[in-house]
Amino acid sequence: MFFCGVKNNCAIQRDLLRKFVQETGTKMADEAADSVSEKCQQKVEKTEIEVATVMILSLRESLKKCQDELKEAKDESRKWRLSFQN
């Protein structure tokens, strides 16, 4: 799934920074790792919302097309029924 790649990428960045922290023992790098993790999570959440919005809009458009086609089919059916009744 699309989100797995984004989440995995965030996890890789976080893990690399954590490894750097362990090797260097610097507190600043540890804070940077937390910051990257938080920013990645925000990006993932934003991406999930954007994808959901696009899916909803696409489904709404598909539903509208189906409703239009159904209306046309009903109208066509009515025309045929009327022509046979006359």
Domain limits, the chain: 39-85
Q: What is the pLDDT of residue 52?
A: 84
Mean pLDDT by 10 residues, the chain (86 residues): 52 71 63 69 77 87 93 94 86
Q: What is the pLDDT of residue 71?
A: 95
Q: What is the pTM of this model?
A: 0.49
DSSP H or E segment with residue 2: helix 2-24
| Phi and psi torsions of 43, nearest 5° | -65, -40
Q: What is the pLDDT of residue 4?
A: 45
Q: What is the pLDDT of residue 72?
A: 95
Q: What is the pLDDT of residue 63?
A: 93
User: How big is the chain by its Cα radius of gyration, in Å?
Assistant: 27
